[in-house]
Amino acid sequence: EAGVAQSPRYKIIEKRQSVAFWCNPISGHATLYWYQQILGQGPKLLIQFQNNGVVDDSQLPKDRFSAERLKGVDSTLKIQPAKLEDSAVYLCASSQKAGYEQYFGPGTRLTVT
Amino acid sequence: KQEVTQIPAALSVPEGENLVLNCSFTDSAIYNLQWFRQDPGKGLTSLLLIQSSQREQTSGRLNASLDKSSGRSTLYIAASQPGDSATYLCAVLNQGGKLIFGQGTELSVKP
């Protein structure tokens, strides 16, 4: 069974630029999550999708971050414009249903200079 | 608001030693608790998941316990090896369906 795929693995941008991350969850998993992990901290949930609907985006900085999950499969997370404090690893995870075990992708390491 | 704390933040031990990592949480109303491993530059690998009705789970040299009433979990690693060096994260699934993580314990096992 293929795991959660993410791309790119690394990205370096200047502040005020925009960036997008892509996630392909495990086949058949209805729930998809995006987490932000700042160096030295645990991951923090940014947004949770159930199929193509948003369940929880309470921690998403909506003035600069956006996410979508068209057709209930792949998802993209966008930052525009980026700030220095957005430097982090962005992790995507999926689960069969909400509340079930989550499986994580390798993450995208973003550096904003 | 659920808060998860892991102690210590970093730990260095010689190879072969048995060790315990600690995790505490403030709200005992959880569905489950999960221990993850994270290698540098990599994603999270699930090690053990304990349902709220369970007291412990074992996998190979790893044993995780859960005491919901006191808001504590421990991860016991027997006969540590250099390959065990990684960051270990504890996370609780709260009744809102959100996974809340601790900040992790960075483990270094010296040959």
Instruction: State how far the Cα of B71 lies from the Cα of A91, in Å rounded to an integer.
Output: 27
Instruction: Name every residue whose Cβ is closer than 8 Å to that of residue B86 and which is 6 or more positions away in sequence.
Output: B37, B38, B39, B40, B106, B107
Nearest CB neighbour to A105, from listed B34, B43, B89: B43
> How sure is the predictor about A1, in pLDDT bands with cuts at 50, 70 and 90?
low
Nearest CB neighbour to A99, from listed B46, B93, B102: B93
Instruction: State how far the Cα of B90 lies from the Cα of A94, in Å rounded to an integer.
Output: 18
> How sure is the predictor about B2, in pLDDT bands with cuts at 50, 70 and 90?
very high
Task: Say whether A70 sits in a helix, a strand or coil.
Answer: helix
Amino acid at the residue B39: D
DSSP code of A101?
Answer: P
Instruction: Name every residue whose Cβ is closer than 8 Å to that of residue B99 and which is 6 or more positions away in sequence.
Output: A33, A45, A102, B34, B91, B92, B93
Average pLDDT over chain B, rounded to whole? Answer: 94
In this structure, the number of other CB atoms found within 10 A of the CB of residue A33 comes to 26
- pLDDT at position B98 is 86
Mutate to test the interface with A, among B98, B100, B103, B105 (most CBs of A within 10 A): B98
pLDDT tens for residues B21-47?
Answer: 999 999 999 999 999 999 987 889 999
Q: Which residues of chain A make contact with B36, given a CB cutoff of 8 A?
A: 104
Q: What angle do CA A3, A75, A90 make, to 5 degrees?
A: 70
pLDDT tens for residues A39-82?
Answer: 989 999 999 999 989 999 999 999 999 999 988 899 999 999 99
pLDDT tens for residues A7-16?
Answer: 999 999 999 9
Amino acid at the residue B62: L
- How many angstroms away from the CA of B59 is the closest CA of chain A? 16
Residue A32 has pLDDT above 70, yes or no: yes
> How sure is the predictor about B10, in pLDDT bands with cuts at 50, 70 and 90?
very high
- pLDDT at position A42 is 93
CB pairs under 8 A between A and B: 50
In this structure, the number of other CB atoms found within 10 A of the CB of residue A92 comes to 26
In this structure, the number of other CB atoms found within 10 A of the CB of residue B10 comes to 10
Determine whether the interchain pair B98/A102 forms a contact, defined as Cβ–Cβ distance below 8 Å: no
Q: Which residues of chain A make contact with B46, given a CB cutoff of 8 A?
A: 101-104
Q: Is B49 on the interface with A (CB under 8 A)?
A: yes
